[in-house]
Amino acid sequence: MSLAIRCHLSPNHDDRGGKAIRQLILHYTGMKTGAEAEARLADPEARVSAHYLLHEDGGIVQMVPEELRAWHAGRSRWRGRDDLNGSSIGIELVNPGHEWGYRPFAEAQMRQLLRLVADLSVRHGIDRAEVIGHSDVAPTRKNDPGELFDWGRLARHGLALARPARLLTDPLWSDSAFALALERFGYDVGDLKAATIAFQRRFRQKDVAGVIDGETRAILFTLQVHEEARLRAGGENR
């Protein structure tokens, strides 16, 4: 797949330390403008970066080569693994975020994101369950890309997990049992409410209050059942 990509290389990177690429982590920039975000990601004093930046007009900027470790995830954990900078590709989407007037992501930007994620997933063999948000891997610190991000659109193209169209029954887990199930699914549950909010930002975007209710339990239970069946069958995009 041919993508028009402009290069603006950032000095903020280091070696992956032998780690294989396993995840794609999606972020929003959380700054007023795309120009400000691009400048910050290239500023050596900021000590932050990402592999790719997607502007709202659909322009793609590569800021760190894929074989190097960009500094985008920070303290992070997913499926029992820490230091996700070493095993992931970070994609920043220009959006002012919750602090500066959070809004739906632009159509041109989303179209290009679909192409980029598809390309990266194929080339690196990234499973759709490993295409995740910053809030998924750092639930106590981050809330991006947030509840307005169209995860369903990625899922319809087989590029991320979908919220199940039909839910199985509420398993009536206690909060402790829900925490165990959520941790097994991938989340750091050291702060259970923060982890629940992060899960809801992905899979129940209309209500992200962090309440462990029947619908939230049913969504997680259904996802577990579907994922276990998919993995037994060998996965769809491994």
pLDDT score of 235: 60
Q: Of the residues 135, 162, 189, which one is the last residue of a structural domain?
A: 162
Non-local CB neighbours of 203 within 8 Å, separated by 6+ positions: 151, 163, 219, 220, 223
Reported as a single tens digit per residue, the pLDDT across 48-93 is 999 999 999 999 999 999 999 999 999 999 999 999 999 999 999 9
Q: Whole-angstrom Cα distance, residue 59 to residue 153?
A: 19
pLDDT higher at 232 or 70: 70
Q: Of the residues 143, 162, 181, which one is the last residue of a structural domain?
A: 162
- 183 is an active site residue: no
Q: Whole-angstrom Cα distance, residue 110 to residue 211?
A: 30
Q: Of the residues 121, 140, 162, which one is the last residue of a structural domain?
A: 162
Omega within 30 of 0 (cis) for the link into 145: yes
pLDDT score of 1: 46
* Residue from 36, 56, 92, 99 carrying the catalytic annotation: 92
180 and 140, same structural domain?
A: no
CB neighbours (10 Å) of residue 145? 29
224 and 118, same structural domain?
A: no
pLDDT band at 4 (very low <50, low <70, confident <90, very high): confident
Q: For residue 142, what is the domain's CATH number?
A: 3.40.80.10
Neighbour-count burial of 83, counting CB atoms closer than 10 A to its CB (0-12 exposed, 13-18 middle, 19+ buried): middle
On the question of pLDDT at 238 being above 60, the answer is no
Read off the pTM.
0.96
156 and 206, same structural domain?
A: no
129 and 198, same structural domain?
A: no
| Domain region containing 172 | 164-238
Q: Which of 44-58, 158-172, 193-207, 223-237 has the lowest mean pLDDT?
A: 223-237
Report the DSSP beta bridge partners of residue 55. none
End-to-end CA distance of the chain: 18
pLDDT band at 233 (very low <50, low <70, confident <90, very high): confident
